Amino acid sequence: MVQSPGRVNLIGEHTDYNDGCVLPAALDLATWVAAAPRDDGRLRTVAARLGEADDVPLSDLRPREGPPWTRYVRGVAALLQEAGCTLPGADLLIDGDLPLSGGLSSSASLELGVGLALAELAGWAVDRRDLALLAQRAEHEFAGVRCGIMDQFAVAFGQAGHVLLIDCRTLEVEPVPVPGDVRILVLDSAVPRTLAGSAYNQRRAECEEAVRQLQAHYPAVLALRDASLEMLAAAGLEGVVLRRARHVVTENARVLESVAALRRGDVAAVGQLMCASHTSLRDDYEVSGPELDALVEIADDTPGVYGARLTGAGFGGSCVALAAAPQSETAAALIMDHYRQQTGRAGQAYVCTPVQGVHVLRDLANL
Ligand code: GLA
């Protein structure tokens, strides 16, 4: 059995596919994958929470009709085999307490959980970095979302009590401790993430257009990570392309400032950077919505909260907030009461601490 966490990103949104930096953590909300071998060359999967199943031959895993989640499972199995992992067949039972479509990377959590479970069954030693890259490819090729590497790396490399500074160009991961008197609040808006795939790919294309325009003046620019606000102005970027690029450039700086602030224990400064991040995502990147804006505003006005922002791709999903540990439970409850009254949405708050990344649970008797 494998436990595969979800992730929440503290700051650094839509920077990963621009070669920038991100600061996520693995969450104590997870997907569990129980696996047993078969010898008939079939991959049979039951998704317990959805009451759905998939039964396909390992020799033919290309996407066909079927519930969306099957693409992640089949994609990971197909790419593992392509990488040389021999699978004789498997039964997988998937369950968990990670909200689905909540912007907490239930897809990456599923990909890594299935990947590690199948590799383990096959006795195939797999490196975490390779598994994360393989899972990202599964998402590109089987689900059609051109995601960056943040989610898969957060799920793969999570460390208890730490956020991870990931440089998405070099793929270096540096754990940064979260002060012990601080809690991460995950605030699920209960607005399902709609249009996430198509609007996400569109944002990515707009960033590529910004790079193309920058390169006419600055040939050394390979990605928006290499640009500054002065360069955006000098290259004459305008309109939507300018706003998208401005978000990425300022957000990348906010990640590095947040790490510096965390290291000196200045949580209030991190909170302010989170609020600035949300404003930029709302106005320049245009991936927020009325409910996410309401959640951030409410959280911000709640005693004990340092700051809040939408987390993940946006277009629905969740917000993340930082709160003082002693007030965190009360703050979470207050925020959700207020949110429900204001929007009529159910919503759900979780007081989280960062946990270890995907791993095999060997001693099931003692769970
Ligand atoms: C999704 C993607 C990530 C990242 C975020 C936005 O979660 O899977 O790669 O781009 O959106 O920061």
| Residue 151 near ligand 1, beta carbon < 6 Å | yes
Each residue's pLDDT tens digit, 74-129: 999 999 999 999 999 999 999 999 998 888 999 999 999 999 999 999 999 999 99
Measure 10 CA to ligand 1 centroid, in angstroms: 12
Measure 252 CA to ligand 1 centroid, in angstroms: 14
| Residue 17 near ligand 1, beta carbon < 6 Å | yes
| Residue 150 near ligand 1, beta carbon < 6 Å | yes
Chosen CATH of 2-176+356-360 out of 3.40.50.300, 3.40.309.10, 3.40.50.970, 3.30.230.10: 3.30.230.10
Task: State the chain's mean pLDDT as an integer.
Answer: 96
pLDDT for the residue numbered 196: 60
Percent pLDDT > 70 in the chain is 98
From atom 8 of ligand 1, which residue's Cα is the shortest distance away? 147
| pLDDT of 194 strictly over 80 | no
> The sheet that has 21-22: what strands, in order across it?
21-22, 162-167, 172-177
| pLDDT of 193 strictly over 60 | yes
- Looking at the domain 178-352, which fold is it? Alpha-Beta Plaits (3.30.70)
From atom 9 of ligand 1, which residue's Cα is the shortest distance away? 148
Which of 20-24, 85-89, 127-131, 192-196 is the least confident region? 192-196
State the Cα–Cα distance between residues 148 and 136, nearest whole angstrom. Answer: 7
From atom 11 of ligand 1, which residue's Cα is the shortest distance away? 313
From atom 1 of ligand 1, which residue's Cα is the shortest distance away? 313
Measure 248 CA to ligand 1 centroid, in angstroms: 13
* Ligand 1 site-directed mutation target among 7, 10, 11, 14, most atoms within 8 Å of CB: 14
Measure 290 CA to ligand 1 centroid, in angstroms: 20
Identify the three-state secondary structure at position 326: helix
Relative to the CA of 15, which ligand 1 atom is closest? 12
* Angle, CA 250 vertex, CA 13 and CA 347 arms, to 5°: 35
| Residue 69 near ligand 1, beta carbon < 6 Å | no
Q: Is 151 a residue of the active site?
A: yes
Q: What value does the mean pLDDT take over residues 237-254?
A: 98
| Catalytic member of 151, 188, 226, 284 | 151
Each residue's pLDDT tens digit, 330-353: 999 999 999 999 999 999 999 999
Percent pLDDT > 90 in the chain is 92
Is pTM beyond 0.85 here?
A: yes
| Residue 317 near ligand 1, beta carbon < 6 Å | no
- Please give the sequence-ordered ranges of beta strands (E in DSSP) within the chain, or none if there are none: 2-9, 21-22, 24-37, 42-47, 52-57, 90-96, 162-167, 172-177, 182-188, 305-311, 318-324, 348-352, 359-360
pLDDT for the residue numbered 54: 96
| pLDDT of 195 strictly over 60 | no
Pick from 177, 344, 137, 355: which is nearest to 259 by CA? 177
Q: Residue ranges per domain, the chain?
A: 2-176+356-360, 178-352
| Residue 148 near ligand 1, beta carbon < 6 Å | yes
| Residue 147 near ligand 1, beta carbon < 6 Å | yes
| Residue 16 near ligand 1, beta carbon < 6 Å | yes
Q: How confident is the model at residue 224 (pLDDT cuts 50, 70, 90)?
A: very high
pLDDT for the residue numbered 8: 98
pLDDT for the residue numbered 65: 80
Give Cα separations from 87 to 40, 78, 108, 322 (angstroms): 10, 10, 21, 43
Contact 209, 343 (CB under 8 A): no
Which of 96-100, 212-216, 240-244, 307-311 is the least confident region? 96-100
Look up residue 203 and give its DSSP letter: H
Between 102 and 279, residue with greater pLDDT: 279
Q: Which amino acid is at 252?
A: N
Rg (CA), the chain: 20
Relative to the CA of 103, which ligand 1 atom is closest? 7
State the Cα–Cα distance between residues 334 and 314, nearest whole angstrom. Answer: 23
Residue 44 β-bridge partners: 55, 91
Task: Give the CA count within 13 Å in the CB-facing half-sphere of 41.
Answer: 5
pLDDT for the residue numbered 294: 98
| Residue 5 near ligand 1, beta carbon < 6 Å | no
| pLDDT of 64 strictly over 80 | no
